[in-house]
Amino acid sequence: MRTTTLTRKLPALLLALAAGQVALASAAGAAPGLLGILSPPAPPAPPSPVAAAAPATAPLLPIEKKLAELHYDVGPVDGNVDEQTINAILAFQKVYGLERTGGLTDPVTAQILATKDDPPALVPGDTSPNKVEIDLRRQVLFLYENGSLSKILPVSSGTAKTPTPTGDYQVYRYDSGWHTSPLGQLYNAEYFVGGYAIHGAKSVPAEPASHGCVRIPMTAAEWFPDHVANGTPVHVLAG
């Protein structure tokens, strides 16, 4: 008699237990226990795809490579926009008479990538293997080494009230580090006539702004003296 009663009640007990288990699983957010006997487990969620992110500056790489090939001082060719990249773009804009912004537009990018030839020498009659040419109108400096164009830098020369002297000179003195002169603060100054020098400056505007010296970017001033020894010809032209 007891066996018969228990047998009759077993289905109801199982249903009650299952219902209680579902309620617990729903409240706790866990996988159902006993209900797993009655229904197959849910398939595992597929792993989330991880897309390889392209470098944000990847489009700049071919432009930097081209500018470096054209002898502009871009610094490391790494696709990163930094002070040297901006100065290299600015120098290119100055050489080709473009708006002096240091920024890239589609026309500027197209012209950089399409350029093949070096700008002609300002003083082709000077066959010195190493020399410096400065174009005051375009506000650029051309460094020649071993008979070939080596680097093109943006400069800021003297204003109309304090002009940079034009003529053919040569480097006669080098002062390492920071120095104060009547013409202002000079870093790694290479003097070419009187108190006028090519030197690093924290401010190198796109236009003439100095007291007569020729300012170059600080990054260039770090390596420039190692490439321009005393006696190197310096030609300063009005343009």
Q: What is the pLDDT of residues 197-213, one digit of tens each?
A: 999 999 999 999 999 99
pTM for this prediction: 0.75
Tokens linked to 27: 């409240």
Mean pLDDT of 23-29: 38
> What are the structure tokens assigned to 100, written together?
């002096």
Give yes or no for a contact between 234 and 155, defined as CB atoms under 8 angstroms apart.
no
Alpha helices in 96-169 (DSSP H): 106-114
- Domain segments of the chain: what residues? 2-36, 56-117, 118-239
On the question of pLDDT at 215 being above 50, the answer is yes
pLDDT band of 182, cuts 50, 70, 90 = confident
∠ Cα 151 153 158 (to 5°): 140
Neighbours of 181 (CB within 10 A): 16
| 130: Cβ contacts below 8 Å, ≥ 6 apart | 144, 145, 146, 227, 228, 229, 232, 233
Instruction: From residue 90, give the alpha-carbon distance in Å to each of 69, 93, 108, 154.
Output: 16, 5, 10, 7
Q: Which two tokens stand for residue 183?
A: 């013409």
The DSSP 8-state label assigned to residue 156 in this structure reads B
Express each pLDDT in 33-79 by its tens digit. 433 334 444 454 444 333 333 333 348 999 999 999 999 999 999 99
Tens of pLDDT, residue by residue over 111-170, are: 999 999 999 999 999 999 999 999 999 999 999 999 999 999 999 999 999 999 999 999
- Residue percentage of the chain with pLDDT more than 70: 76
Phi, psi for 53 (deg, rounded to 5) = -75, 130
Architecture of the domain delimited by 56-117: Orthogonal Bundle (1.10)
CATH 2.40.440.10 describes domain 118-239: yes
Q: Do domains 56-117 and 118-239 have the same CATH topology?
A: no
pLDDT at residue 30, as a whole number? 39
